[in-house]
Amino acid sequence: MNVTGAILTRRTIKQFKPDPVPMENVLAWLSTAAYAPNHRMTEPWEVYVVGPSTRANLKHKNDFGGAPLLLAVASTPAKTSVDRDEHLVATACFIQNFMLAAHAEGVGTGWSSLGASPRVRELLALPQGQEIIGFLPVGYPLEVPEPKLRTPIEQKLHDLP
């Protein structure tokens, strides 16, 4: 699968098979993801492998679709608001890379943004200044949703003089 094919066919997966995904594969996709662009090579991401008791305490509405693996990806602290924004967006690039690398090998992912609440921060014992950018369920898809069509890009294109 080439990059364009991976981008066009990746979906947010809501229901997963229980079959485990080999951790060595997950580590390989995370290593690939780390080639995301990041200003001044800050590599501003931290990855948490969420264990069963933490996961149960999150009380997610459908337990992340039964995914056999749950990751939480956080961005690292920053001294200025500009640096904070750069850390957030670089970490989002890291997440997208991870999703595409997994998808290219038949493994689905989701993205849940439940990380901002104080309750969740406390559950994860998140170091001060780190921010959860996404909880990522990872596993073989039970069902793959239809594509959600996008606005024609011409409508997002703006000519400047």
CA-based angle 39:41:44, to the nearest 5? 80
Q: Specify the residue, 12 or 54, whose C-beta has the smaller distance to ligand FMN.
A: 12
- Closest to 119 in 3D by CA, of 64, 34, 58: 58
Contact 36, 94 (CB under 8 A): yes
For residue 160, the minimal CB distance to ligand FMN (Å) is: 27
Q: Select the residue interacting with ligand FMN from 40, 61, 79, 148 (CB under 6 A).
A: 148
For residue 127, the minimal CB distance to ligand FMN (Å) is: 21
4 sits near ligand FMN (criterion: CB under 6 A): no
62 sits near ligand FMN (criterion: CB under 6 A): no
State which of positions 111-130 bind ligand FMN (CB under 6 A).
111-113
d(CA 99, CA 32): 10
41, exposed or middle or buried, with CB in 10 Å at 0-12, 13-18, 19+?
exposed
60 sits near ligand FMN (criterion: CB under 6 A): no
| Interacting residues with ligand FMN (CB under 6 A) | 11-12, 111-113, 145, 148
